[in-house]
Amino acid sequence: MWPFAFLGKVGGPKPEHYSYQPKSDYMFSLNKCPHIIVEVCSKSRETDRFRMLLQGGLLVRVMNSIKKKGTFVAIAIYITDDFVARRHLIYQTTPKKPEVRNTDFLMPDHFISFIL
């Protein structure tokens, strides 16, 4: 389980409040914030991969909303039933906008600008 829960509202005129405690098969965190989340395939339709990506997207939005400078990038690794690891980088191109993107490939020049 992650060391914190997400709170949200769902619905129209009378929204209901929900609390969600994310969990991952494996997690690497820094200062109690997950940076790398790992999920191992346990369902035939890979619904756990989609859950992992949704959790990563929510994590990126929250972290970018509280960070003073720079942007937060989450690394999500999904291990398939064939034991192939698929890496996803989850990020926002513009932290003020709600859109979250993910990619499972990494260009070397983008990696250098990410480190700086």
pLDDT tens readout for residues 77-96: 999 888 889 999 999 888 77
| pLDDT at 10 exceeding the cut of 50 | yes
Tell me if 60 sits within 8 A of 89, measured CB to CB. Answer: no
Domain count, the chain: 1
Determine the pLDDT at residue 39. 93
Question: Which residue would you say has higher pLDDT here, 111 or 81?
Answer: 81
pLDDT above 70 covers what percent of the chain? Answer: 89
In a domain, 62, yes or no: yes
- Dist. CA 65–CA 92, nearest whole Å: 11
The per-residue pLDDT for 114 is 40
Look at residues 45, 2, 5, 7 and name the one whose alpha carbon lies nearest to residue 27: 2
pTM of the entire predicted model: 0.77
Give a yes or no: residue 17 inside a domain.
no
Specify if 15 maps to a domain: no
Give the pLDDT score at 13: 84
Residue 64 belongs to some domain of the structure: yes
Q: Which pLDDT belongs to residue 78?
A: 92
Q: What is the mean pLDDT of the segment spanning 31-60?
A: 88
Residue 17, Cβ density class (10 Å: 0-12 exposed, 13-18 middle, ≥19 buried) = exposed
Q: What distances in angstroms separate CA 89 from CA 17, 60, 78, 86, one per listed residue?
A: 29, 10, 11, 10
Helix (H, G, I), strand (E, B) or coil at 40: strand
Q: Does residue 83 lie in a domain region?
A: yes
Domain that holds residue 43: 23-115
3-state secondary structure at position 6: strand
Query: Looking at the domain assignment, is residue 10 inside a domain?
Result: no
> Residue 14 domain-assigned?
no
In a domain, 30, yes or no: yes
Please give the order of strands across the beta sheet that includes 85-91: 26-30, 33-40, 74-79, 85-91, 101-103
**Does residue 115 surpass a pLDDT of 70?**
no
Residue 43 or 23, more confident: 23
